[in-house]
Amino acid sequence: MINPTKFEEAYGFRRSDVALANWRTAPFNRWSFQNVGELVPSARIEASSGATETEAVDFSGLLNETVSLSKGAETIATFLDRSSADALTVMKGGRFVGDWFAPHTRPGNRHIVFSISKSLTAILAGILEGEGGFDPEAPVTAYIPEATGSAYGDATVRHVLDMTVSLDFEEAYLDPESAFARYRRATLWNPGGGDEGLEEFLLSIKRRPEPHGEVFRYRSPNSDLLGVLVERASGRRVPELFREKLWGPLGACGEGAITVDRVGTARTAGGISMTPRDLARVGEMIRRGGVAGGKRVVPEAWVHDTTTAGSLDAWKRGDFAHLFAEGRYRNKWYQSGKGSCCGIGIHGQWLFVDPASEVVIVKMSSQPTPVDDPLDHDNVDFFEALVGMV
């Protein structure tokens, strides 16, 4: 057991100060984002059998290099501090070329990746599709008949994958009286949960009057529903699917975890925790067209579709057009419009893949606020600058 005084010296607060009511707020998130399982029920995702991690690669030689961001030129070290970074891992040409960790982060720690969980769950859907066990063009009710009468009753799986469901729901992260707060209670992420399960909540959401498929609306319940869809299609639980279909073939060296509700429904919209290097391995697999360790993990056609298809019009009508002016969203991955793609999570979680330069970057953070649009732009500028340095 860690000495309470040592804990307070390391984090500036006591472990007993961290609770379900404050785990996503600063400064407590510097610890809780790396220890979610102590606060929210979680299921294990076992590491790849026999996989061992290599030593960290020193990144300090680049910390004093400058990058041009919205506030002007600043050093990489300054930006990492300003953006509340916890860890940074960089790969180039399939090799790890740099690892950096904040003082409160131990190499090998897993960290919650929030909405990058969506991108990871979509990979499961792509694998199942390649096996003939999942149809992205099928109606949601083909897999979840009880979705009839909900917002998903006349939606397709494709609408769910591309966030174009006409869902009457707002992503109000900080409003304690909103439907989003009820959603978080159903996931056991907020106090007061347990009366309503996640699936029960999802199927209670109603639709907006306009048609599905026309507007990109970033709504996290879609991605939790995707987890239910892949479980119904496969007859397997999400943690088992991740272990067998992704962690093992990827050669993941660390154990992952995913938060679950009162009956074990996985929070596939945002509940996955994993190490920075294993997340980088996912990015490298995408960069290589679905191959890892010389073996195919996900169909090449699915990767090509994910990184090139999607509706530009739906994107431009949607929530995030300010981030990537010529971007698209496909299979829960973002396209920058410049050849790169990424997964993004609140509080500063990033998986950035640039195939042209063969660079993959993972940045995990504990930003004080869930969403910070100016900082998102700075992160993209930082990644694009870093690509040219490594």
Alpha-carbon distance of 237 to 117, in angstroms, equals: 15
Report how far apart, in Å, the C-alpha atoms of 259 and of each of 120, 163, 223 are.
14, 22, 14
Chain centre distance of CA 260: 16
Tokens 């030129």: give the residue: 73
Alpha-carbon distance of 207 to 214, in angstroms, equals: 14
- Check 42, 48, 84, 115 and give the catalytic one: 115
Alpha-carbon distance of 261 to 380, in angstroms, equals: 33
Q: Bridge partners of 55?
A: none
Alpha-carbon distance of 252 to 271, in angstroms, equals: 18
Beta strands at 66-69 and 42-45: parallel, antiparallel or unpaired: unpaired
Tokens 């390391």: give the residue: 10
Spatial CA neighbour of 382 closest among 60, 98, 70: 70
Q: Tell me the two tokens of residue 220.
A: 């996290």
Cis upstream peptide for 27 (omega within 30°): yes
16 is catalytic: no
Catalytic residues: 115
